[in-house]
Amino acid sequence: MKHPEGRPFPADAQLTLDLFSATRHEFADYVAGPQAAALAALQSWSAGAGPPVIYLWGAPASGKSHLLQAAIRAASEQGARAMYLPLAELREAGPAILDGLDTLEAIALDDLDACAGDASWEQRLFHLYNALQAAGGRLLWSGARAPAGCPIALGDLASRLAASLVFQLRELDDADKAAALVALARQRGLELGDTVLEFILRRERRDMAALVALLDRLDSASLQQRRALTVPFVREVLERRG
């Protein structure tokens, strides 16, 4: 992978960015529930329309990463040079990893809180924001808190965050969680029948992070044992988990 200006990234940065050059999620797999307005805004954003800077905030597993990845995937499919960057995973690589990314046309910065309060990261993020704006680029960013509650120390960066189009993502209700699980199972090539779905929702924690983690375990076990998702099979997987 090369720097957007044509020169190579430092080896460590190149390897790190390669991990995030593709995204797993797409809009078709997203169950909007109460987030219909946010979904519509990001679909417009990925097509190059609407406000160029959008900030999503909400609790863990509220769907922020899914929407950011889906928007970058859609922008890429429409010909834009786009990249998704999970800051919580990239922080150890250092803020220099952001250098030159302003030559991209669409960027999504996930988990802004991970770098908030770090002066070097905040300065690089502020520079990237300004450079993107000057070049006509588009930016998505996300965090766990509303702009006023995000612990950013650099006032100029905090003001840019507050000036974004802001959406709070709220927890899905049980019906929407069920629909989301069916969609995510289908994405993995699995059929999640009503009986199995009811069994999972009755037995497991209802937060999406736990449900998606279980779905990943079921996917792996189903591939290894070449078995369909039935209630007895799901029960076996749950019992082996201990």
3-state secondary structure 18-86: HCCCCCCCCHHHCCCHHHHHHHHHHHHHHCCCCCCEEEEECCCCCCHHHHHHHHHHHHHHCCCCEEEEE
138 three-state secondary structure: strand
Whether 213 shows a pLDDT value over 70: the answer reads yes
Hey, where are the domains in the chain? 11-168, 174-241
Q: Say if domain 11-168 classifies as CATH 3.40.50.880.
A: no
Average pLDDT of the segment spanning 24-45: 88
Shared fold status for 11-168 and 174-241: no
Q: Which of 2-11, 64-73, 172-181 has the highest mean pLDDT?
A: 64-73
* pLDDT value, residue 81: 92
- How much is the pLDDT for 181? 86
| Strand pairing report for 165-168 and 138-143 | unpaired
Pick the CATH number of 174-241 from 3.40.50, 1.10.600, 4.10.320, 1.10.8: 1.10.8
> What's the whole-number mean pLDDT along residues 161-167?
97
User: 77: pLDDT confidence band, cut at 50, 70 and 90?
Assistant: very high
Predicted confidence at residue 242, as pLDDT, reads 55
Per-residue pLDDT band for 31 (boundaries 50, 70, 90) equals confident
pLDDT band at 43 (very low <50, low <70, confident <90, very high): very high
SS3 category, 100: coil
Q: pTM for the full model?
A: 0.77
pLDDT in tens, 92-131: 989 999 998 999 999 999 999 999 999 999 999 999 999 9
Tell me, what's the pLDDT at 17?
47
Structure tokens at 232: 């007895």
Mean pLDDT along residues 204-218: 81
Contact 64, 15 (CB under 8 A): no
pLDDT tens-digit map of 165-190: 999 998 878 888 888 888 888 888 88
